[in-house]
Amino acid sequence: MTRADLIIYNIGQLVTFKEGPQPARALRDPRNAGIIENAGIAIRGERVIDVGSTSRILTEYEAEARINADGRLVTPGLVDSHTHLIFAGSREDEFEMKLQGYSYSEILARGGGIYRTVRATRQASVQELRRLLLERLLLMVRHGTTVVEVKTGYGLLPEYEVKMLNALEGLDSPGLPKIIPTLLAHVIPQEYKNRRQEYINLFIKEIIPRSLAAKVKPLYIDVFCDKGAFNIEETRRILEAGMGHGLRVRLHAEELAYIGCSDLAGEFQIDSIDHLEYLPAKNIELLVAKRTVANLLPTSMLSIFSEKKPPVNELREKGAIIAVSTDYNPNNMNPVLATTMDIATYLLGLTPLEALAAATINAAWSLRIDNVHGRIVPGAAADIVVWDVPSYKWIGYEWGHDKTLVVVARGAMVKNELGGTC
Ligand code: NIG
Ligand code: FE
């Protein structure tokens, strides 16, 4: 017998995604999701060491901690590949304004929205930001999210952007979601209102280099390329500078209008383009050819009361890799990616299996961490969720409550409502 730290057995349906990222179209054949019936998993330390039939795992491994999944669904931990998790303050009164008919863009143009959060975030201490962040991370992980991408972008000036990155220090530990930090060029600060070029220069010459000297360094550069934020030329300059410093690229694009941002997929290797409500058909093939993820944010659509939807059918038919993420931010306060998956079935028409791939393996691919996260294979991080349903077909079908029973994040037991010998 080989020693393990934890065995999960009697898994009714284990979705491993061992074949890696999947275009939505490929999931019409569920075999591409690497599904094992009556499965078992052996875990040692932070890693999965074996995956197979319950009988083989129980014969070959011994562990003091054993969980009987009793016929339930088990999936990789969820990967939230687009969030704005570090901020202070809140904007609940803007929610009421939106209900009265003010648009997201109008509120921003009047100095509210992002600018309001910038004021609150600049005032907060690094300790306060870290405390708020930790609260949100704990909430997320208890609901099954084991990796989270976190953007800056509420500091806007060098010292505050660095403060946001410093707030991430000390939070990299098993039992918390793994953080992937991104430096975000969000909007032109009010101080630079009529000096756009000066701000772009500041971003390139100061903010990018200083971010790379912060306590936690960004892995990605992102730009909010849209009407009311950065235009395509400005975005191009910022992305080139970020890439020059070794940062990978993701992009906010085509949320409020099409101004040409997704065309940049042809010029750069962009790992993920996010929002995409106004994505023109001509650019879908570009995303497919570059394996750029179409990262869709359904609760963001709700939060700006947008009726415009991304072209999901065309993305699916042409073979795009689709992710979904929460876009958690003070304008869109849904921290639960599992809920986003459920809503993605209704609002975007994703099938349950497409929604699951979109929130696990495809999201991990969008962050280039798919070898370790988003799939359950030997050697991968032990990020695992046991759900209180028998199969993936219940995603979307049953929703509105927390269906997670067990959450393991990098081998650490975060939640166990099933008991067993732990
Ligand atoms: O992804 N679109 C730009 N940024 C965020 C919203 C940020 C905010 O409103 O504070 C988004 O939706
Ligand atoms: Fe965003």
Q: Is 212 found in the same domain as 183? A: yes
- State which ligand 1 atom lies nearest to the alpha carbon of 108: 9
Ligand 1 test: best mutation among 329, 333, 334, 340, most atoms within 8 Å of CB? 329
Q: What is the pLDDT of residues 129-161, one digit of tens each?
A: 999 999 999 999 999 999 999 999 999 999 999
Residue 421 has pLDDT above 80, yes or no: no
Note whether residue 422 is domain-resident: no
Q: Is 316 found in the same domain as 353? A: yes
Q: Is 314 found in the same domain as 246? A: yes
Q: What is the pLDDT of residues 29-71, one digit of tens each?
A: 999 999 999 999 999 999 999 999 999 999 999 999 999 999 9
Counting ligands in written order, the one closest to the CA of 300 is 1
Q: Is 27 found in the same domain as 130? A: no
Q: What is the CATH number of the domain that holds 34?
A: 2.30.40.10
Q: Is 351 found in the same domain as 226? A: yes
Note whether residue 421 is domain-resident: no
Residue 260's domain comprises 79-366
Distance 84 CA to ligand 2 centre (A): 6
Q: Is 93 found in the same domain as 64? A: no
Q: What is the CATH number of the domain that holds 181?
A: 3.20.20.140
Q: Is 389 found in the same domain as 281? A: no
Q: Is 279 found in the same domain as 315? A: yes
Q: Is 170 found in the same domain as 182? A: yes
Residue that finishes a domain, picked among 350, 366, 382? 366
In this prediction, residue 422 has a pLDDT band, given cuts at 50, 70 and 90, of low
Q: Is 381 found in the same domain as 256? A: no
Average pLDDT over residues 99-120: 96
Note whether residue 21 is domain-resident: yes
Note whether residue 283 is domain-resident: yes
In this prediction, residue 419 has a pLDDT band, given cuts at 50, 70 and 90, of confident
Ligand 1 test: best mutation among 186, 188, 324, most atoms within 8 Å of CB? 186
Q: Is 361 found in the same domain as 385? A: no
What is the total count of domains within the chain? 2
pLDDT at 182: 99
Taking the CA atoms of residue 133, residue 135, residue 137 and residue 138 in that order, the dihedral angle to the nearest 10 degrees is 160
Distance 260 CA to ligand 1 centre (A): 19
Q: What is the pLDDT of residues 5-25, one digit of tens each?
A: 999 999 999 999 999 999 999
Q: What is the pLDDT of residues 362-384, one digit of tens each?
A: 999 999 999 999 999 999 999 99
Q: Is 123 found in the same domain as 159? A: yes
